[in-house]
Amino acid sequence: MEARVLKPILGVYCAAFILFLYGPMIILAILSFQGAGGGPQFPIIEWSTYWYQHLLGMTPPSRISRLPIGDSLLRSLTLAMMTTVVSTTLGVITAQGFRTRFKASGAVFYLVILGMIVPGVLVGLGMALLSNMLGIDRSWWGTAFVLHVVYTFPFAFLVMLAIFNRFDRSVEEASLSLGVSPVQTFRRVTFPMIFPGVLSAMLFSFTLSYDEFSRTLFTSGRELTLPLTIYGTFSVEIYPNIFAFGVLTTLFSFTLLLVYALLMLRAVRAGRSFKGQEEAV
Amino acid sequence: MYDLQLTGVGKTYPDGTVAVSDFDLVVEPGEFVAFLGPSGCGKSTTLRMIAGFEAISNGDILIKGKNVSTTPPEKRPTSMIFQNYALFPHMTVRQNIGFGLDVKGLSAADKKAKVDRIMDMFGLSEFADRKADRLSGGQRQRIALARGLVVEPDILLLDEPLGALDANLRRVIQNELKLLQRELGITFVFVTHAQSEALGLSDRIVVMNRGRVEQIGTPHEVYAAPATEFVARFIGSNAIIEGVNPTVEGEMASVDTAFGRIRGRYAASMASDAVVLAAIPAEAMRIQPASAAAGIGENRLHGTVSMKHAVGSVGHFKVDLDGRQSVDVQTSTDNEVLMQLAIGDAVVVDCPSDRVTLVGQG
């Protein structure tokens, strides 16, 4: 097709993509500045930060109760961090294992990947049934945590697999050949060089776990995580305080991304010659 | 005691591919040995088996009399230099060089002294605190060498260490390597596919092809007396002429070829009942106008000049013998008569018998 025709079509597609990507967020952000008497829709009766104050308990008591997110936020953050540590560690170790071909490596690969492709509702339900049968109490730090790892581990694994794929093995061999043990070689040579990948794997694990819904729904027991709590408030009536919280949690995510970007920049600077060496070959 | 001893070493991959077979070699202390061959001939695999990065399938590898066949690479007294240098990108030059000493349990002062000394030796002191990627190819090569040598290995293994350098720098580093090896007296095992490097640097060359050793000898031996057809074709520039029915007289033999009888020294690979190949070095041949060549000279071949060019002091002729076979001849450009030869002129080419080698085919 000619560029003359293709260009406007792609332009419109791109604009629509951006609109649907950011539109919902922007609407929410705008509505979060609704006045005290306003509802979760337009028009804005009065611009204010009332709902942010309400969220933080800084407003005089009203008939609308505070969002019960304090505990669940803490739970979700703890769960996400636990998941990040375990999934990333497993991801690094498994990808390291896949660097040398072994028997049934194909089967193992798909077994790992299964964790991210099977529907969350099914796994959640299955886990609930299984824990019932085995008499295990469901909890966010037990059954839900296991499912979060099963779900995020494949992502961390795939990221690390891609990193190891273009990793120059001769650097490790150089270390071994200098008399440095495999363990020390991993700690002092391999790990610093794959660190950017590890950061990416951590970011994936954290964000996926932090807003995981379907698997957690069936397995977290009585103590709810943040996404479940927020969903729970929908069943009563929606007030703009949820939007205010949405804005805050989005800001938190952006901060996380910023930290990631800064760390990444540093790691890439430190390891720039990695690429230089490849070119030298 | 030998520094390095390989007896019947072989490598077969799980899928049945044979990378190396029946590799026998003994290396004297302080020797500079080159493994030479085309890519895929098994030379790098053999080097990696010596380093311990590849498990061996058959045979034994002994270093200073100790069998290291199953010893992991970090416990072998070898140090390897890689073609791409394999420097640690996240470390400074000093950290790179000192890396291997960290696990040796030296005091900080001892370690610093060793690193300082070797950096000084390689002219790297001024870059000590820079990241390795800020340096040129030649400097990175020196860092790699310094890093490999500072741990004082019994054997330094070099895998095409000059391959990534440009031609000029390659000559410089090549000379440095030779000097360095003489000074340190460490055994060097060097892998290359460039015959000029192998011939110029090493005390002995192991010529390899398809996972097998074709010939082991000094640079002069493999150059002047190729043992097999492969060596004759791979090293130097030899004219190869087919012959049959060899008759042996002492160290010499002669064969019947389409261009008359050719006499030469024969290699062990020559068999009396098979095709024999006469390898005649281009620079050992003499070329004369047919009119001037009265019956003198051994191994006379008649032909016509089909190509002629001169590079500086060396003149190159291609002489067509019968329309299918031609031989390359190198001469000095000093000779006025030869320089006046034109394409199509009838000439006679001859070569002393002791410069001709008769090898078996294949």
- Cβ contacts of A281 on chain B, cutoff 8 Å: 83-84, 164
Cβ–Cβ below 8 Å for B51 and A179: no
Sign of CA dihedral B80, B86, B87, B90: negative
CB atoms B73 and A271 under 8 Å: no
Angle between helices A241-270 and A191-210 (to 10 degrees): 170
Q: Are strands B212-217 and B276-281 parallel, antiparallel or unpaired?
A: unpaired
CA of A278 vs chain B CAs: smallest distance (Å): 7
B237 has pLDDT over 70: yes
Between A4 and B158, the more confident residue is B158
Which residue from A173, A180, A276 is facing B86, i.e. has the nearest CB? A173
The answer to whether the Cβ–Cβ distance between A173 and B78 falls below 8 Å is no
Q: CA A149: distance to chain centroid? A: 12
CB A173 to CB B89 under 8 A? no
B90/A174 Cβ within 8 A: no
**Which residue did the predictor score with more confidence, A156 or B102?**
A156
> Which residue has better confidence, B271 or B215?
B215
CB contact under 8 A, B86 and A277: yes
Q: What mean pLDDT do residues B229-233 have?
A: 93
- Is pLDDT of B79 > 90? yes
Domains of chain B: 4-224 (3.40.50.300), 229-360 (2.40.50.100)
Q: Which two tokens stand for residue A179?
A: 């008399």
Q: Is the pLDDT of residue B180 over 80?
A: yes
**Å from A207 to nearest chain B CA?**
29
Q: Which of B50, B84, B115, B191 to mutate to test the interface with A (most CBs of A within 10 A)?
A: B84
CA-wise closest residue to B176 among B153, B200, B204: B200
Token pair 């024969």 in the structure block, residue: B266
**Residues paired with residue B256 on neighbouring β-strands, in sequence order:** B244, B261
| Percent of chain B surpassing pLDDT 70 | 99
How many Å is the Cα radius of gyration of chain A?
A: 24
* Beta-ladder partners of B254: B247, B263
Q: What is the three-class DSSP state of B346? A: strand
A181: nearest CB among B74, B76, B86: B74
Give mean pLDDT, residues B2-22.
93
Best interface-test mutation with A: which of B85, B135, B151 has the largest number of A CBs within 10 A? B85
Is the CB of residue A173 less than 8 Å from the CB of residue A167? Answer: no
**Inter-chain CB proximity A171 and B78 less than 8 Å:** no
Q: How many other C-beta atoms can be found within 10 angstroms of the C-beta atom of residue A134?
A: 7
CA distance B343 to B323: 14
**Number of CB pairs, chain A paired with chain B, less than 8 A apart:** 101
Searching chain B, which residue's CA lies closest to the CA of residue A276? B133
CB-based contact B314:B279 (threshold 8 Å): no
pLDDT of residue A1: 59
pTM summary value: 0.81
Mean pLDDT of B90-99: 92
Residue B143 has pLDDT above 50, yes or no: yes
Alpha carbon distances (Å) from A3 to A6, A227, B106: 5, 45, 68
Distance (Å) from the alpha carbon of B15 to chain A's nearest alpha carbon: 13
The mean pLDDT value for B69-73 works out to: 94
Placement of tokens 């003359």 in the chain: A4
Q: Quick one: how many helices (H) and strands (E) in chain B?
A: 9, 20
Using CA atoms, how far residue A206 sits from A76, A77, A142, A253, B214, in Å, is 10, 9, 17, 10, 59
Q: Which residues of B touch A180 (CB under 8 A)?
A: 74, 99-100, 102-103
pLDDT of residue A280: 38
- Both tokens of residue A200? 């990416």
> Which one of B51, B90, B133 has the shortest CB-CB distance to A177?
B51
Write down the ipTM of this complex.
Answer: 0.84
CA distance B216 to A80: 63
pLDDT at B231: 94
Residue that the structure tokens 């470390």 belong to? B91
The alpha-carbon gap from B71 to the nearest alpha carbon of chain A, in Å, equals 12
pLDDT for A273 equals 45
Band of residue B29 on the pLDDT scale cut at 50, 70, 90 = very high
Closest-CA distance, B81 to chain A, in angstroms, reads 7
Q: Which long-range contacts (CB under 8 A, 24 or more apart) does B165-169 make?
A: B165/B137, B165/B138, B165/B141, B166/B137, B169/B137, B169/B138
Q: How many helical (H) and strand (E) elements, i.e. helices and strands, does chain A have?
A: 13, 0
Give the span between the Cα atoms of B223 and B246, in whole angstroms.
23
pLDDT at A28: 87
Surface-to-core class of residue B129, CB atoms within 10 Å of its CB (0-12 exposed, 13-18 middle, 19+ buried)? exposed
Inter-chain CB proximity A277 and B79 less than 8 Å: no
Walk along chain A (281 residues) and give the pLDDT tens digit of each residue: 577 889 999 999 999 999 999 998 898 888 888 887 777 777 878 888 888 888 887 777 777 777 777 888 899 999 999 999 999 999 999 999 999 888 888 999 999 999 999 999 999 999 999 999 999 889 999 999 999 999 999 999 999 999 999 898 999 999 999 999 999 999 999 999 999 899 999 999 999 999 899 999 999 888 889 889 888 887 777 888 888 888 888 888 889 889 988 988 887 776 554 444 433 33
Q: In sequence order, what are the beta bridge partners of B7? A: B60
Nearest residue of A to residue B165, measured between CA atoms: A280
Main-chain phi, psi angles of B21, to 5 degrees: -140, 145
pLDDT given for residue B292 in this prediction? 76
The first and second tokens of residue B285, run together, are 């041949």
For residue B82, give the chain A residue with the closest CA: A170
B155: nearest CA partner in chain A: A177
CB of A166 closer than 8 Å to CB of A242: no
The domain limits of chain A are: 3-55, 70-236
Q: Quick one: angle between helices A3-31 and A241-270, nearest 10? A: 120
In our burial notation (b when 16+ CB lie closer than 10 A, e otherwise), range B237-258 reads ebbebbbeebeeeeeebbbebe
Testing the interface with A: which of B44, B90, B96, B139 to mutate, by most A Cβ within 10 A? B90
A192/B90 touch (CB, cutoff 8 Å), yes or no: yes
Spell out which residues of chain B touch residue A277, defining contact as CB-CB under 8 Å: 84-87, 89, 133
- Asked if B99 reaches chain A (Cβ–Cβ under 8 Å), the answer is yes
Rounded Cα distance between A97 and B90, Å, is 24
Q: Which helix (H) or strand (E) segment is A113 a member of?
A: helix A105-117
Cα distance between residue A109 and residue A116, in whole Å:
12
- Name chain B contacts of A193, Cβ cutoff 8 Å: 88-90
Q: Phi, psi at residue B18, to the nearest 5°? A: -95, 115
Tokens 């961090």 belong to residue: A81
3-state helix, strand, coil in chain B (%, to 5): 30, 35, 35
Partner residue facing A274 (CB), from B76, B89, B102: B89
Distance from the A28 Cα atom to the nearest Cα atom in chain B, whole angstroms? 44
Superfamily of the domain at A70-236: MetI-like (1.10.3720.10)
Contact across the interface for B74 and A179, Cβ inside 8 Å: yes
